[in-house]
A and B are shown apart, each in its own frame.
Chain A
Amino acid sequence: MTRRTMIEAIRDAMDVSMERDDDVVVFGEDVGFFGGVFRCTAGLQKKYGPSRCFDTPISEAGIVGAAIGMAGYGLRPCVEIQFADYVYPAYDQIVSEAARIRYRSNGQFTASMVVRMPTGGGIFGGQTHSQSPEALFTHVAGLKTVVPSNPYDAKGLLIAAIEDDDPVIFLEPKRLYNGPFDGYHDRPVKPWSSSELGEVPDGHYTVPLGKAKVVREGKAVTMLSYGTMVHVSLAAAEAAGVDAEIIDLRTLVPLDLETIRQSVLKTGRCVVVHEATLTSGFGAELAALVQDECFFHLEAPVRRVAGWDTPYPHAQEWDYFPGPDRIGRALQEVLEV
Chain B
Amino acid sequence: MYRYTDFDTAFVAERNRQFRQQVERRIAGHLTEDEFKPLRLMNGLYLQLHAYMLRVAIPYGTLNSAQMDQLALLAEKWDKGYGHFTTRQNIQYNWPKLRDVPDMLDALAEVGMHAIQTSGNTIRNVTADHFAGAAADEIADPRPVAELLRQWSTDHPEFQFLPRKFKIAVTGSPNDRAVIKAHDIGIQVVEREGRIGYRVLVGGGLGRTPMIGKELTEFVPLAELLPFVEATVSVWNLLGRRDNKYKARIKITVHEHGIDEIRRLVEDRFAETRQAFNGADLELFDEIAAQFQPPAFRNVPTDAYDSAYEADPVFRAWADTNLWDHKAPGYAIAQISLKPHGQTPGDATADQMRVMADLARRFGHDELRISHEQNVVLPHVHKSDLPEVHKILKAHGLATANIGLISDIIACPGMDYCALATARSIPIAQEIATRFDELKIEHEIGDLKIKISGCINACGHHHVGHIGILGLDRAGVENYQITLGGDATETASLGTRTGPGFSAEEIVPAVERVVQAYLEHRESPEEPFLAAYRRLGMAPFKTALYGEETGKKARAA
A, B bound: no
B→A interface (CB under 8 Å): none
